[in-house]
Amino acid sequence: MRQDRYSRQILFPPIGNDGQEILRNKHVLIIGVGALGTQSAEMLTRAGIGTLTIVDRDYIEWSNLQRQYLFTEADAENRMPKAVAAKRILSEINSEVNIHAHVMDVTPNELTYLADGVDVILDATDNFDIRMMINDISHKKGIPWVYGSCVGSYGVSYTILPGKTPCLQCLLGTIPIGSQTCDTAGIIQPAAAQVVIHQTTETLKLLLGDNDVLQRKLLAFDLWKNEIMQMDIQSYKKADCPTCGESPTYPYLSYEEQTKVAVLCGRSSVQIRPPEMQQRNLAQVAESLKQTGGKVELNAFLLSFTFEERRMVLFKDGRAFIHGTNNQDYAKSLYHRYFS
C-alpha cells in the first residue's frame, strides 16, 4: 500500500495510520449502483477499503448520466450493466481495492451469501422490497447498515445498528420516508450527493468502530427549500418488531413476503403481484405518472400507462401487467420504478 495515496486522509486524527490499516481490512456491500451507489462506491474506493461488493440488476440508460457517476455516453449507447461498468472505472481509480461486481436481482437467497463476511451494508436501492430484505439480513447476521433515499431535492439518511436502534420495519407507517420516485418526481444531482455524503461518512465511522460519533437521528433535508431536519426516533423501537424485536422472525427473508413475478403464457407479458393485496388509489398514481410525460388512461378498475412504447397496467389490488416483455427482472424493475 502506498502511504502517499492516503496521506491527507491519514492526517485526519480520527483515521491516522492505524485507521487506514483498519479500512484496508474491511468489506462493504453496496446494493444498487445508481445515483447513490456509484458515488458511494467511488468515495469508499478512493478511501482505500479492502473489499467492495457492488450489486445491481439494471443496465445504463441515457437518463442515468445526469446524476450517476462512473458512467459514460458509450456505456449508455451499449446498454452496459451498471455493476460491470462501475467496476471497470473503480478498478482504474484504485487497483488496491478488491472489487466484486454482480449483475443480479437481489432476493433473500442471494443476499444471504452476499452478506457473508461483510462489515457494513450500504443501501443504494430504489425500492422497499429490497430494503426490507436488507433490514432483515442485517439483523439476522448482526451487520450494521445505512439507509438512504432521495427524490426531487429531498433526501433521507439513517444508520441502523442491530440490537441498538429502531430498524426500518419499526419506522414504516410512522415516519414519512417518501413514496415518489425519480421517474415520477425527478431528481437533482446535488440531492443524491448530499445523501451519499452522510451515508459514506457514517460507513467510515462504522468501519473504524467510532460508534460514539454516529448520527443517531434520522436525517432528512430538502436542498431546494433550504430545510433540514434531525428526528430522534429511538422511542419508535418496538419490542414486538418481527425484525429487531424480542422474538424476530425476519419476515422479508421468506417467500410469502416477496413480490411475486410470473410470465403470462403466450402473451409476452409479466404479472407482478405484491406480497400482500392492497387497495391502491389509482387516481393518485395517475397524477404522479403524468409527470413522466407518458400516456395515462384510467377507468374505475385499472390504470393503463404507456411510456416509450412500453405498456403497463395497474389494478386496484396492486397487481400489474407489464406488456411487451417476458424478462421477469426487467418487468420487476419497471414495476418498482413506476408503481411500487
The DSSP element (H or E) to which 293 belongs, if any, is none
Q: Give the integer Cα–Cα distance in Å for 55 and 258.
A: 19
CB 57 within 8 A of CB 110: no
Residue 66 grid coordinates:
445526469
What single-letter amino acid sits at 207? L
DSSP state at residue 95: T
The DSSP element (H or E) to which 78 belongs, if any, is helix 73-78
SS3 322: strand
Catalytic site includes residue 265: no
Of 150, 170, 182, 241, the active-site residue reads: 182
The DSSP element (H or E) to which 68 belongs, if any, is none
Phi-psi region of 152 (alpha: psi -120 to 50; beta: other; left: phi over 0): left
The DSSP element (H or E) to which 220 belongs, if any, is strand 218-222
- In the block, which residue shows the cell 461518512? 201
Q: Give the integer Cα–Cα distance in Å for 151 and 45.
A: 25
SS3 57: coil
CB 116 within 8 A of CB 150: no
Residue 283 grid coordinates:
387516481
Residue 57 grid coordinates:
440488476
Give me the torsion for CA of 286, 289, 295, 296, rounded to 10°: -10
Residue 159 grid coordinates:
444508520
Phi first, then psi: give them for residue 162, nearest 5 degrees.
-55, 130
Strands 320-323 and 269-273: antiparallel
Could you list the active site residues? 182
